[in-house]
Amino acid sequence: MPERKHKTVKESEPENGGASSRGFWTGTIAFGLVSVPVSLYPANRSSSIALRMVDQDGVPLQRRYYCTEDDRPLTDQDIVRGFEIERDRYVVVTDEELKALAPEKSREIDLRRFVDVREIDPFYFDRAYYLVPAQQGPSKAYSLLTATMEESGRAGIATFVMRDREYLVAILAEGGVLRAETMRFPDELRSAREVGLAEPASPPATDVQVFERAIEGLSGKKLSVEELVDHRAEGLRKLAERKRAAGKDVVPAPEDAREDEGAQIIDLMAVLKRSLAQRKPPRAVARKGRTEKSGKPATATSKRNGGDLEKQTRAELYARAQALDIAGRAAMSKRDLIAAIRKTG
């Protein structure tokens, strides 16, 4: 299997967006003869500042897979999934095989056991969600379950299926509201020994007293949200505002790059599919179309008409690259388009 690398990189988008007026998953909490309709809402959202990768002209870059062995960009048809059985050796897994492994779709949160909340190590918690009544207005079953769990100090351990994957969750009750915490599996956690920590020693009592006094001096009754500040995000935001006010290093993306970013990729895939169906390379398809339309062969002179390439806008260059059916044009900067057009001509 060819080795792949990213030709251009776009930093990851935040996983959780803003608040929504409706839950993204609806089902029922079920145990015994009890059934509680609920909707699932994310309990957290990402507010960190993400940096977008752009070129020197301010054009946003896209993530592409590139085969270093064949020296060419890859399309979706070239890429398969592989399970690494040992270093640099893979077993290919098909989409059909993955579908066969997917759990049976269900709208039920199967609550299997109740345990003392204190018995659950927070290390197992992965992501938090709210479980709210699915129906409008108060739900008697929801209120009874929440109050009983909160008073008894118990949490429910359950499983449910979402997006073709089964999740293990802990259901917690606090302040009259149910919360679900997706849980990590034991093999996903590292022990203290694995990171090199030795067995704990027993320090002298006098040293313990010194640390107790130091901790007491910094202790408060509760955690203040004012102390939870992302200083890096604040600093980066202020830096960007200062630069914008001074007109320094501001590189807006060209309008044509923003408008055509998605459409260009779709067009490339359509050309590739047509060429594969006809058993002809994409460039041959494009040239045939030009010849039939004009009645003249696509000569180098006809490809270059329109004046000096450097004086043309990126939109004009992209249109010419599209006519020449240059692969990968959607991710190309203005300089890349000029070079590709000259190479093709």
What is the per-residue pLDDT for 195? Answer: 86
Structure confidence by residue, pLDDT tens digits, 219-231: 888 878 787 777 8
What is the per-residue pLDDT for 260? Answer: 47
Q: What long-range pairs does 78-87 form, CB within 8 A, spacing at least 24?
A: 80/1, 82/1
Structure confidence by residue, pLDDT tens digits, 202-256: 889 998 899 998 988 888 888 787 877 778 888 888 888 888 888 888 776 655 5
CA distances from residue 294 to 247, 286, 304, 306, 344 in whole angstroms, order as listed: 48, 13, 16, 17, 19
Distance of alpha carbon 293 from alpha carbon 207, whole angstroms: 89
Is residue 30 within a helix (H) or strand (E), and if so which, with residue range?
A: strand 25-31
What is the per-residue pLDDT for 254? Answer: 59
Distance of alpha carbon 32 from alpha carbon 52, whole angstroms: 50
More reliable by pLDDT, 305 or 64: 64
Structure confidence by residue, pLDDT tens digits, 30-55: 988 888 999 999 988 777 677 888 88
Cβ-Cβ contacts under 8 Å for 241 (sequence gap 6 or more):
none
Give the other-Cβ count within 10 Å of 316's Cβ: 16
What is the per-residue pLDDT for 103? Answer: 82
CATH architecture, range 4-49+101-188? Beta Barrel (2.40)
For 231, the 3-state DSSP assignment is helix
What is the per-residue pLDDT for 137? Answer: 64
b/e sequence 34-58, b meaning 16+ C-beta within 10 Å: eebebbbbbeeeeeeeeeeebbeee
3-state secondary structure 266-312: HHHHHHHHHHHHHCCCHHHHHHHHHHHHHCCCCCHHHHHCCCCHHHC
Q: Please provide the average confidence, as pLDDT, over all residues in the chain.
A: 76
Cβ-Cβ contacts under 8 Å for 102 (sequence gap 6 or more):
164, 165
Distance of alpha carbon 170 from alpha carbon 134, whole angstroms: 19
Distance of alpha carbon 234 from alpha carbon 211, whole angstroms: 33
Domain boundaries, the chain: 4-49+101-188, 255-344
Angle at 45 between CA 44 and CA 46, to 5 degrees: 130
- What tokens appear for 244 in the block? 């914008």
Structure confidence by residue, pLDDT tens digits, 111-151: 999 999 999 999 999 999 999 998 776 688 899 999 999 99
For 211, the 3-state DSSP assignment is helix
Structure confidence by residue, pLDDT tens digits, 6-30: 333 333 333 444 444 567 888 899 9
pTM: 0.55
- Residue 170 pLDDT more than 90? yes
